[in-house]
Amino acid sequence: MSTGQWVAACAADALQPEELLRFDHGGLTLVIARSPEGGYFAIDGHCSHEKVHLADGIVDGHIIECPKHFGTFDYRTGEARALPACIDLRSYEVKVESDTVFVKI
């Protein structure tokens, strides 16, 4: 687990299940996802293949598909799941308090 600080990213109701939100903070770009079960997750926001913003991608279940070359990632872990994406993305701890989503950066 990371040893950073908790940063408010968005309101909990800003995302519906299977939606994505871009979150920029201190030079980092993350993507926040809400699972079909209602959980929140955060991973690096750029595809590891060609640095395209994943927030513009498509979500199916727990998978984000990159909008450029269709590589996929599991947003729960950052694991690259389909080529041309072959490098995993970093995942970040997430918590919800007082209807706000926080990411540990």
Inter-CA distances, 20 with 1, 2, 13, 78, Å: 23, 22, 12, 14
Residue ranges of domains in the chain: 6-104
pTM assigned to the model: 0.92
Q: Is the dihedral of CA 66, 70, 71, 76 positive or negative?
A: positive
* Torsion from C-alpha of 53, 57, 59, 62, nearest 10 degrees: -30
Mean pLDDT of the chain: 94
pLDDT of residue 101: 98
Q: What is the mean pLDDT of residues 83-96?
A: 96
51 pLDDT band (50/70/90 cuts)? confident
Q: Is the pLDDT of residue 2 over 60?
A: no
3 pLDDT band (50/70/90 cuts)? confident
Report which DSSP code applies to 88: P
CATH architecture of 6-104: 3-layer Sandwich (2.102)
